[in-house]
Amino acid sequence: MNDKTVLITGASSGIGKETAKQLAARGYRVYAAARRIERMADLERLGCVPLRMDVTKEEDLVAAIERIREQRGGVDVLINNAGFGTQGSIEETSLEDARYQFDVNLFGLARLTQLVLPHMRENRFGKIVNVSSVGGKIYVPLGGWYHATKHALEGWSDCLRTEVARFGIDVVIVEPGAIGTEFNDVFVGPMLERSGDGPYKDLAHGIVGYMRDLESKPDGSSPPSVIADVIVEALEARRPKTRYVAGRMAKSILFARRWLSDRMFDRMIGPMIG
């Protein structure tokens, strides 16, 4: 695997950056893509190739794939990591914001996947890792549009896996739990801006209080390296699992969701939302 070419999105921070570091250290040729290319100078020093990419812009995606094709022949491993969470009530979130959430978390990665598949099919080899979330299996109020994208990504990935397996291409879903990344830094502001003063203000402030309490605890979240380790494991497995679950509270909350009824799960998350 170490001679393979990797493209990873969302590589300027968090899970993406840590994964890029680990793969570069293991000898992979890593193309690290993100909107904030200036924040990837450290990755360049490690041997990664920084690419400026907004996954919602077709021209960025095409330019990146063309460059990799010219330099390396094509992408062998795609790690779809770029994503963010739109927080706020379904009623108070504009459809424009909701559509952008889908553009980043689903349609952008879907288009990038379309662009890398011809090379993978031709070589009869490829690995595609889609970073989803436990949020693709559970739900929390005021996260409706975010959860919708991750639930969609789970089903989309399952369909993709069954379509491309015949070409020697693996599709893996990674479901992180609570991870200490910038995702949490941009969580509070948008939620309170949309829903902090309206009919859902009690929910909004309850969730914010819960998140701040969680972050204040030493074991409130896992470091991004936990997910990077899982991605490396999936890439180097001869027969990777279809799903990997890792990070703080991930396995316990998915276990609860699997065995509790909807009403029981509603009650379980009650303390979280005050």
- What are 178's strand-pairing partners? 248
**Residue for token digits 């990997």?**
244
Beta-carbon count within 10 A of 47 CB: 14
> Which listed residue (4, 12, 89, 157) is catalytic?
12
Look up 133 and say whether it is catalytic: no
What is the rounded CA–CA span in Å between residue 51 and residue 61?
Answer: 10
**Residue for token digits 């450290």?**
42
> Which listed residue (4, 127, 137, 150) is catalytic?
150
With a CB cutoff of 8 Å and minimum separation 6, the contacts of 21 are: 43, 46, 228
The token pair at 143 is 């996260």
> Which listed residue (17, 28, 132, 157) is catalytic?
132
3-state secondary structure of 188: helix
> Which listed residue (28, 139, 146, 244) is catalytic?
146
Look up 12 and say whether it is catalytic: yes
Looking at the annotation, which residues are catalytic?
12, 132, 146, 150
